[in-house]
Amino acid sequence: MSDDRDQLSPDAQRLNETIDGQQMLIRMGYNPDSIFVDGDLIRIFCPIHKDQVRRSLVLNNREKTFRCQYTQCPVHEGGPLIVLYAKCMNLDVADAVERLQSGEQKSGEASLLDRAQALIEELKYEEALGYLLKARKECPENTITRCKIASLYLEMGKQKDGYREYMAAAEDFSVKGELDHTLSIYNMLAMMTPESARLRRQMAYLFARLGRPMDAAEHLKWIIDFHMREKQTDAAVAICGELIEMLPEDPALRVIVMKLYAETGRHDPAVREGVIACEAFLKTGALAEAQDAIEWCIEHYPHAEELMELRYRINMMQADQSAQPREATPPKAGSDSDANEDDFNDFISSLEDSID
């Protein structure tokens, strides 16, 4: 790890030794629930490269240092905690020391925001924008100010600038664990740009973090459809891999991946996914689906011995099932979960049709 403490001023060095990493993060706007503490180590989503997948930034509260585990991140080499605060706040280290020692936000920010709001009410948008930009410079950790800037851009007809600022604000909220704010922004942006693959991917990551894999999968499936329409099969396969990570027990997804692998010439992975899909179908007693999958595999890969063995097993299980007397069972009442599963299966079927 790179340690720039020798390059810090004596004041900065002394202050760095007193910093509590967790309290510093909370001051920077992080939701306490998003901060993972394991002894002296603190893990967060990196605010520098805007990681939303894993907590790649690690703070060492005992050594008063940090580093990002992502090798392409600008702060991969790490350094003292005061340097992290300065980078996140867009300050030089001397100003960061002053900000932390003061224990308060600069009082000028509130007056700048008040002045901007008054100008907006007077429809003096250009002047108001100047004050908002100054307020953001005064207090870069205040993501609400960025949202106000984004909203003003849209009011001024500058949709590209507004979209950019809202995306940046959503990423800030997401990194800090304010996921409800992130979702609100993404929902609004989805109405503005419903065909944005980047936004769909961000929403998938967000729903995954919220513990809503079905919603995450819905957005990833949209991206797969998009790549298939654009004949970008490699990209579609990559997204299928993410889908499987979210819903590893769903055999229908394995069938989709199997067909995509076959279409892109990835023969061994296609056979592997076909076997996994069939085994998963068999676990749930879905013999017909297993039969369809194995026949498709054998049609494309007739020399794969593992497929022949699997087909023999499936045929034997079907024969045993046919030989057993069936008991009449009353139909089960429908439920919301059944409806959700039906919707999900409809999505899977549409994807299979696009591949076939």
Q: What is the pLDDT of residues 222-250, one digit of tens each?
A: 888 888 888 887 888 778 777 777 777 78
* 44, HSE (Cβ side, Cα atoms, 13 Å): 32
DSSP per residue, 326-344:
PPP-PPPPP-HHHHHHHHH
pLDDT number for residue 234: 80
Residues linked to residue 80 through DSSP beta bridges, in sequence order: 65
Q: What is the DSSP secondary structure assignment for residue 72, as one 8-state letter?
A: T
Coil, helix or strand for 29?
coil
Q: Could you tell me where in the chain the CATH 1.25.40.10 domains are found?
A: 108-194, 206-321+337-355
Cα 119 to its chain centre, rounded Å, is 37
pLDDT number for residue 103: 60
Burial class (CB in 10 A: 0-12, 13-18, 19+), 83: buried
**Contact between residue 238 and residue 220 where contact means Cβ atoms under 8 Å apart:** no
Which amino acid, 33? D
Q: Which CATH number fits domain 5-102: 3.90.580.10, 3.90.180.10, 3.40.50.620, 3.30.930.10?
A: 3.90.580.10
Measured CA to CA, the distance from residue 154 to residue 189 in angstroms comes to 12
3-state secondary structure 139-173: CCCCHHHHHHHHHHHHHCCCHHHHHHHHHHHHHHH
Measured CA to CA, the distance from residue 191 to residue 196 in angstroms comes to 10
Closest CA to 356 of 284, 300, 291, 301: 300
Please report the sign of the dihedral spanned by the C-alpha atoms of residue 294, residue 299, residue 301, residue 305. Answer: positive
pLDDT number for residue 237: 78
Q: What is the pTM of this model?
A: 0.61
Cα 39 to its chain centre, rounded Å, is 27
Give me the phi and psi of 54, to 5 degrees please.
-140, 160
At which residue do the structure tokens 């729903």 appear? Answer: 207
Architecture of domain 108-194: Alpha Horseshoe (1.25)
Q: Could you tell me where in the chain the CATH 3.90.580.10 domains are found?
A: 5-102
**Contact between residue 12 and residue 82 where contact means Cβ atoms under 8 Å apart:** yes
Residues belonging to the chain: 356
Question: In the chain, which stretches have pLDDT less than 70?
Answer: 1-6, 103-108, 324-356
Calculate Rg over the CA atoms of the chain: 27
Percentages (nearest 5) of helix, strand, coil residues in the chain? 65, 5, 30
Measured CA to CA, the distance from residue 253 to residue 29 in angstroms comes to 39
Q: Which CATH number fits domain 206-321+337-355: 1.20.120.1200, 3.20.20.140, 1.10.10.10, 1.25.40.10?
A: 1.25.40.10
